A and B are shown apart, each in its own frame.
Chain A
């Protein structure tokens, strides 16, 4: 292995998340993710940016893990306050807002989505990721609402998939946001989706790959190996894969080991399960990890700070 310098011909591109006042937004901070020219933690301190921990909230807690609802209490009914807590209490780097309301059958209250996004952006100064609908029938309207509500804030909109990427991409292009490109744990499908996005005009410096992450013990090792392969290919020069990755082992809190844990250790179990999927994901090359239990945020940030050889705060691209 190389010492600090690397022999790789490729480099991960950088994606900017969030826009501060200098960029015409209202975020207190913006981040650059990506930029690595080596494998994670191998000389990465000189080139890449510190991995970020996103805390995920939702707008319809009925579709959220019970353990989070129990832990967060009333907050879950108010995305704005919840996001404020994520920033000030849990210590998240950024927020991911999952619009679970759109998953309800017959959903049609599109205006409410715009308002939620607006409220959350008002409540927190952190950059925002939005996870929208996954139904082609309503995608266009949903992403249009989110995109417009977040105009100028450089959001990260998700999720584009090979079968439905046009609506997300259109909103991202129209309102200046980034796109999460999710493929089912396959390096080739990840690459294909990036090509599709590129061809309808989304530049790759606005794309973040979500290689899809299974929960630890429920397929996580496939995700790990695909993230590794994507990183290797990117470093070897495959331009279509030279984008940062986001990893969200979203099923972690729904698995039997967490659900059926003794009440006394349930939260600890939840945090550990999330933690031990997110940390290896970072080791495999994820630039952003997403968790749902507030306790996991601090644990991860502490771990990253210990592992990360450089100045941890220097990664925020203030004024970028």
Chain B
């Protein structure tokens, strides 16, 4: 089938021969302007075919074009049909110009409502007849340019001190930067000449392990650069508890500085790649867990790691870049996502913002799985959250051959139920070195399907197959023979590994069900499950249900929101209206302390079974497993 390539973005789509360019554009996700609905009447969907065979009836539909344009390939996308691979230029004017920005990896859009603007101003110099002060002249010009009303703009002393020089040196041609800050509009910068295009913001996911930064133009909202790096606080401890303990011993300052440096490092990388001056970054939005954001803001987190686990602040915070050591414009606004509790931080509020839970009638269950997990259940009326320790098994820790998602990690596995021979895929197609979380979930589900393990995860050692054997301490299943691997050892999964995985998955499922019980809803009432974090991107959803990691819902209701924290920060960066609702979201989320919730232990035990002790909660899995058992009895 012909491939249509759209320039300048090189987006591609295939259509059947004789299909229109418009069809292809829609497939490629381009929002073409089609006022008449594709009848060739409105003349809005103009494109230019640069190469390839196509046909277009210019007599009938070509009246909006000049003969030269027809000759150079201009046509209407809705009427032009392709006869082979074509390259098509789509002029900006043919695309719908709604100010909507796609947040990467999310598929959701948000309005473009920045909270900072630049105005290029050509001022009339003062004269004896018009002796109004510099500031008045400046503010009036901003108002005339469509900016805020002059009287409503506050001008800080630093800007005033530099104003007379900047204005006169530039010949009264300046760019003024106005920000909407708590309290009103503020003139935060005055630059010589026209720098109105140089206006950027950064959306930051401040993670315990990783920092992710998105740089966006705040003129049009588009992404100009992305970068990530490790949180340099790792030198003060891997996990968050040891960092707080470090701060108790050595003071908060080194950790605060490392947090700022880590962000600076990522911002610098992104800015350099995009050839942007860091001083043109005027806004930074940060989503992070409660302890991380406390540290960045220089607020002592010491009391958060001991009972009764109280954070100092949970509302959103603002400050300026310079005050927390961020190397951006010194007056750049820094916006920190609010938190729900000690354990449900701004990163989770950002997750909620990006999965849309707080704005929908539909009930969403959002699950963020790492060594710790967070679960939020709710809709725009109510939300319940909880957090707990899942243990490292789902990330490959505490599992003999478990590993993180690095090259050579087995990430997908299926097992032939008759021969018990696995087929697997590794990251980067390298020889296997270990098994990553998604691979472990696959193995568990497949061994269950093949009746190799029972519902408590015990391996049936009476099965005669060379892949099932008793290892040094535990029965085990051989996933890859020595010769296939890059490590010169058989890669196995042991009964103990499986036990750890079941304990991990039981805490997640037990937490989900505890929240469902709190809210009084059944699994049928869950309209969608959203996986946040890298983990969700790789797991096989069917297998996640098969083992009972999450409640059984139809597969199509499960989606991955990827890095929800950075996505939420992006939304808040380009749409200031969303920031307003964050405090409300955070306040509306009830936090359920699992340690204090007596039913949780019960739910945990019930969930420590494959997929769950109450088989009625997993009707599809049950039906499937019944069939598997029948099959295995027929062909033992």
Chain A positions near chain B (C-beta within 8 angstroms): 162-163, 166, 186, 188-189, 191-192, 195-196, 199-200
Q: Which 10 A-B pairs have the closest CB atoms?
A: A188-B605, A188-B606, A188-B613, A192-B609, A191-B613, A192-B613, A162-B456, A196-B454, A186-B605, A196-B455
| B615 at the A interface (CB under 8 A) | yes
**Nearest A-chain residue to B616, judged by Cβ:** A238
Within the complex, the shortest CB–CB distance from A191 to chain B, in Å, comes to: 5
Encoded as 1 (CB less than 8 Å from any A CB) or 0, chain B from 585 to 622 comes to 00000000000000000100110010001010000000
Q: Is the CB of A192 within 8 A of B602?
A: no
- Within residues 128 to 162 of chain B, which ones have a CB less than 8 A from any CB in chain A? none
Within the complex, the shortest CB–CB distance from B602 to chain A, in Å, comes to: 7
Within the complex, the shortest CB–CB distance from A172 to chain B, in Å, comes to: 16
Q: Is the CB of B605 within 8 A of A199?
A: no
Taking a contact as CB atoms closer than 8 A, the residue among A186, A188, A199 that contacts B454 in the complex is A199
A199 and B456 alpha carbons, distance in the complex (Å) = 12
Taking a contact as CB atoms closer than 8 A, the residue among A166, A186, A192, A200 that contacts B456 in the complex is A192
Within the complex, the shortest CB–CB distance from A35 to chain B, in Å, comes to: 24
| B273 at the A interface (CB under 8 A) | no
Within the complex, the shortest CB–CB distance from A194 to chain B, in Å, comes to: 10
| B467 at the A interface (CB under 8 A) | no
Decide: A195 near B455, CB < 8 A? Known: A166-B460, A166-B462, A188-B613.
yes
| B629 at the A interface (CB under 8 A) | yes
Further contacts, 19 of them, CB under 8 A, given A192-B613, A196-B454: A162-B456, A162-B458, A163-B456, A166-B462, A186-B605, A188-B606, A188-B613, A189-B605, A191-B613, A192-B455, A192-B456, A192-B609, A195-B455, A195-B609, A195-B613, A195-B615, A196-B456, A199-B629, A200-B454
- Within residues 501 to 551 of chain B, which ones have a CB less than 8 A from any CB in chain A? none
A-B contact pairs, 13 of them (CB 8 A): A162-B456, A162-B458, A163-B456, A188-B602, A188-B605, A188-B613, A189-B605, A191-B613, A192-B456, A195-B455, A195-B613, A195-B615, A200-B454
A177 and B602 alpha carbons, distance in the complex (Å) = 32
A199 and B455 alpha carbons, distance in the complex (Å) = 9
Q: How many residues of B contact A (CB 8 A)?
A: 13
Give chain A residues whose Cβ lies under 8 Å from the Cβ of B615: 195
A110 and B602 alpha carbons, distance in the complex (Å) = 40
Give chain A residues whose Cβ lies under 8 Å from the Cβ of B462: 166
**Nearest B-chain residue to A193, judged by Cβ:** B456
**Nearest A-chain residue to B607, judged by Cβ:** A188
Within the complex, the shortest CB–CB distance from B618 to chain A, in Å, comes to: 12
Give chain A residues whose Cβ lies under 8 Å from the Cβ of B605: 186, 188-189
**Nearest B-chain residue to A229, judged by Cβ:** B602
A37 and B458 alpha carbons, distance in the complex (Å) = 35
Chain B positions near chain A (C-beta within 8 angstroms): 454-456, 458, 460, 462, 602, 605-606, 609, 613, 615, 629
A191 and B455 alpha carbons, distance in the complex (Å) = 12
Within the complex, the shortest CB–CB distance from A50 to chain B, in Å, comes to: 31
Give chain B residues whose Cβ lies under 8 Å from the Cβ of A191: 613
Give chain A residues whose Cβ lies under 8 Å from the Cβ of B456: 162-163, 192, 196
**Nearest B-chain residue to A164, judged by Cβ:** B458
Residue among A163, A188, A191, A196 with the highest chain B CB neighbour number at 10 A: A188
Q: Is the CB of A163 within 8 A of B458?
A: yes
Within the complex, the shortest CB–CB distance from A149 to chain B, in Å, comes to: 23
A94 and B456 alpha carbons, distance in the complex (Å) = 33
A200 and B460 alpha carbons, distance in the complex (Å) = 11
Give chain B residues whose Cβ lies under 8 Å from the Cβ of A186: 605
Within the complex, the shortest CB–CB distance from A211 to chain B, in Å, comes to: 14
**Nearest B-chain residue to A162, judged by Cβ:** B456
A148 and B345 alpha carbons, distance in the complex (Å) = 62
Give chain A residues whose Cβ lies under 8 Å from the Cβ of B609: 188, 192, 195
A186 and B602 alpha carbons, distance in the complex (Å) = 9
A192 and B615 alpha carbons, distance in the complex (Å) = 10
Within the complex, the shortest CB–CB distance from A241 to chain B, in Å, comes to: 10
Within the complex, the shortest CB–CB distance from A202 to chain B, in Å, comes to: 13
Give chain B residues whose Cβ lies under 8 Å from the Cβ of A189: 605
Give chain B residues whose Cβ lies under 8 Å from the Cβ of A192: 455-456, 609, 613
Within the complex, the shortest CB–CB distance from A137 to chain B, in Å, comes to: 12
A189 and B455 alpha carbons, distance in the complex (Å) = 12
A166 and B459 alpha carbons, distance in the complex (Å) = 11
Within the complex, the shortest CB–CB distance from A24 to chain B, in Å, comes to: 27
A54 and B454 alpha carbons, distance in the complex (Å) = 33
Within the complex, the shortest CB–CB distance from B567 to chain A, in Å, comes to: 38
A160 and B455 alpha carbons, distance in the complex (Å) = 15
Give chain A residues whose Cβ lies under 8 Å from the Cβ of B460: 166
Give chain B residues whose Cβ lies under 8 Å from the Cβ of A195: 455, 609, 613, 615
**Nearest B-chain residue to A187, judged by Cβ:** B602
A191 and B613 alpha carbons, distance in the complex (Å) = 7
Give chain B residues whose Cβ lies under 8 Å from the Cβ of A199: 454-455, 629
A199 and B628 alpha carbons, distance in the complex (Å) = 11
Within the complex, the shortest CB–CB distance from A23 to chain B, in Å, comes to: 28
A282 and B60 alpha carbons, distance in the complex (Å) = 93
Give chain A residues whose Cβ lies under 8 Å from the Cβ of B606: 188
A108 and B629 alpha carbons, distance in the complex (Å) = 35
Within the complex, the shortest CB–CB distance from A240 to chain B, in Å, comes to: 8
Give chain A residues whose Cβ lies under 8 Å from the Cβ of B458: 162-163
Give chain B residues whose Cβ lies under 8 Å from the Cβ of A188: 602, 605-606, 609, 613
**Nearest A-chain residue to B606, judged by Cβ:** A188
**Nearest A-chain residue to B625, judged by Cβ:** A199
A196 and B602 alpha carbons, distance in the complex (Å) = 19
Within the complex, the shortest CB–CB distance from B621 to chain A, in Å, comes to: 13
Give chain B residues whose Cβ lies under 8 Å from the Cβ of A196: 454-456
Within the complex, the shortest CB–CB distance from A134 to chain B, in Å, comes to: 16
Give chain B residues whose Cβ lies under 8 Å from the Cβ of A163: 456, 458
Within the complex, the shortest CB–CB distance from B615 to chain A, in Å, comes to: 7
Give chain B residues whose Cβ lies under 8 Å from the Cβ of A166: 460, 462
**Nearest A-chain residue to B605, judged by Cβ:** A188
**Nearest A-chain residue to B615, judged by Cβ:** A195
Give chain A residues whose Cβ lies under 8 Å from the Cβ of B613: 188, 191-192, 195
A115 and B11 alpha carbons, distance in the complex (Å) = 82
A196 and B606 alpha carbons, distance in the complex (Å) = 14
**Nearest A-chain residue to B462, judged by Cβ:** A166
Within the complex, the shortest CB–CB distance from A109 to chain B, in Å, comes to: 25
**Nearest B-chain residue to A186, judged by Cβ:** B605
Within the complex, the shortest CB–CB distance from B68 to chain A, in Å, comes to: 78
Within the complex, the shortest CB–CB distance from A291 to chain B, in Å, comes to: 30
Give chain A residues whose Cβ lies under 8 Å from the Cβ of B455: 192, 195-196, 199
Give chain A residues whose Cβ lies under 8 Å from the Cβ of B454: 196, 199-200
A186 and B456 alpha carbons, distance in the complex (Å) = 15
Give chain B residues whose Cβ lies under 8 Å from the Cβ of A200: 454
**Nearest B-chain residue to A189, judged by Cβ:** B605
A106 and B452 alpha carbons, distance in the complex (Å) = 31
**Nearest A-chain residue to B451, judged by Cβ:** A199
A191 and B617 alpha carbons, distance in the complex (Å) = 15
A192 and B609 alpha carbons, distance in the complex (Å) = 7
A191 and B460 alpha carbons, distance in the complex (Å) = 20
Within the complex, the shortest CB–CB distance from A201 to chain B, in Å, comes to: 8
A196 and B458 alpha carbons, distance in the complex (Å) = 11
A186 and B454 alpha carbons, distance in the complex (Å) = 19
